[in-house]
Amino acid sequence: MSSRPTQDDIAREAGVSRGLVSLALSGSSTVADSTRERILAVAERLGYTRNLSAAMLAARTSPIVGIVLPNLMHPFFDSMVSSIQSVADDLGKMAFTAIRGEMQTNESCALDYFIGLRVGGAVLVAPTLPKDRLIEYGTKIPTCVIAGDVVGGTIDSVYIDEDAAAKLVLTHLNEAGYEKIVFFTRETTAADELVHRRVESFTSAVSATGVKPDVRVVHDVDSSVRDLIHEGGPRTAIVCYNDPLAMDVVMAARALGLEPGADIGVVGYDNTFYAEKPGYDITSIDPKPHEMAAAALDFVTSRAEQLALDARHHLVQPALIVRGSTSR
């Protein structure tokens, strides 16, 4: 046997055809579970490493999917990339992640790099490139945008129904007896387009009830919460544009001797792992990241065969996960 095991070596050891080995290693559902397990066990024992270049040539498309996102510091982005990688694994694909940071040029560099690698597609989370640039990239590589603006051209998009999310939040808070509802946001964020749309949806939902919307740009959380409590009293609820801000609000409320859920309501967005921690227990909008990831990878995979197909859209219906921060 050669020093570097091949699929032929695995086939001989497992007593199956080379074609069956290839199907098993690529995750094909046509291979029986018992046979796949035997083949994978032999591959692991022999120290087999899949040759991606050969796989790309055989399949005429790359099993690699590129991901570009602002950062991994925000828990939503972390959950999004984890979901994409999980779905990619299930599909027998490999996800490569590039971090954009605050430099828009890094987004272009990452896409250029992915094109040079001839990856099977790219998923952009909350991109900042102008629409015309994105449309241009869409002519070169299957591309899907998650949690960004609808681009057009051949750029597919996946996003949550922000109007539905806002209505879920308001309905819950009204039923829980909160009389004053305020939306907190930051001045600058890593996903400005998403936040702008979130604020617009909240504003529209509140206006539809005949109440004047109250949206506040927060610079100092402690003073903002203190001022609001002095204005509205204990029947006040604060809706935060994301979970990290909601966490800060929870801590600020407790510093004032108030308990979220009993004295003040707090709602976040994105239902990140922080929201469910017992120390925070924050009611939050679930954007269903696994559904978003599955839709995005389905789009880029199918577009590999039809690059010129008109843009498609997948609208995710969110859920509200109610926790202690709004329980009265």
Question: Strand order in 265-269's β-sheet?
Answer: 215-217, 180-185, 236-240, 265-269, 283-286, 319-321
pLDDT at 215: 94
- When comparing pLDDT for 307 and 156, which is higher? 156
- pLDDT range class, residue 1, cuts 50, 70, 90: very low
- Write down the residue that tokens 């796949």 correspond to: 36
pTM exceeds 0.85 for this model: no
Q: Where are the alpha helices (DSSP H) in the chain?
A: 7-14, 18-25, 33-46, 52-59, 75-90, 104-117, 131-138, 162-175, 192-207, 221-232, 243-255, 289-303
- Read off the pLDDT of residues 151-190 as tens digits, 9 standing for 90 and up: 899 999 999 999 999 999 999 999 999 989 999 998 765 4
Q: What is the DSSP string of 108-157?
A: HHHHHHHHHHT-SEEEEES--S-HHHHHHHHTTS-EEEESS---BTTBEE
Checking if the pLDDT of 320 tops 80, the result is yes
| 156 vs 135: CA distance, rounded Å | 10
pLDDT higher at 3 or 5: 5
Tell me which of 51-55, 80-84, 215-219, 274-278 is least confident.
51-55
Query: Of 24-33, 197-206, 239-248, 313-322, where does mean pLDDT reach its minimum?
Result: 24-33
pLDDT: is 219 or 29 the higher one? Answer: 219
Taking the C-alpha atoms of residue 250 and residue 244, their distance in angstroms, rounded to an integer, is 10
Gap between the Cα atoms of 211 and 218, Å rounded = 21
Enter the DSSP assignment of 325: G
As a whole number, mean pLDDT of residues 22-43 equals 79
Distance CA 240, CA 285 (A): 10
Structure confidence at residue 204 (pLDDT): 95
- Give pLDDT, residue 328: 64
Per-residue pLDDT reduced to its tens digit, 242-279: 999 999 999 999 999 999 999 999 999 999 998 999 89
The residue-averaged pLDDT of 126-153 equals: 91
Q: Could you give the CA distance from residue 46 to residue 13 in angstroms, rounded to a whole number?
A: 9
Instruction: Read off the pLDDT of each residue in 193-210 and give the average, rounded to a whole number.
Output: 89
**Residue that wins the pLDDT comparison between 25 and 93:** 93
The pLDDT value recorded for residue 57 is 47
Cβ-Cβ contacts under 8 Å for 130 (sequence gap 6 or more): none
Mean pLDDT of all residues in the chain? 87
Mean pLDDT of 288-311: 91
User: Please, which residues have CB within 8 angstroms of residue 119's CB and are 6 or more apart in sequence?
Assistant: 62, 64, 65, 66, 96, 141
pLDDT in tens, 277-286: 989 999 999 9
Min mean pLDDT across 85-94, 97-106, 118-127, 291-300 is at: 97-106
Q: How far is CA 27 from CA 23, 37, 48, in A?
A: 6, 11, 15
Rounded CA separation 295/87 (Å): 10
Q: How far apart (Å, rounded) are the C-alpha atoms in residues 255 and 222? A: 8
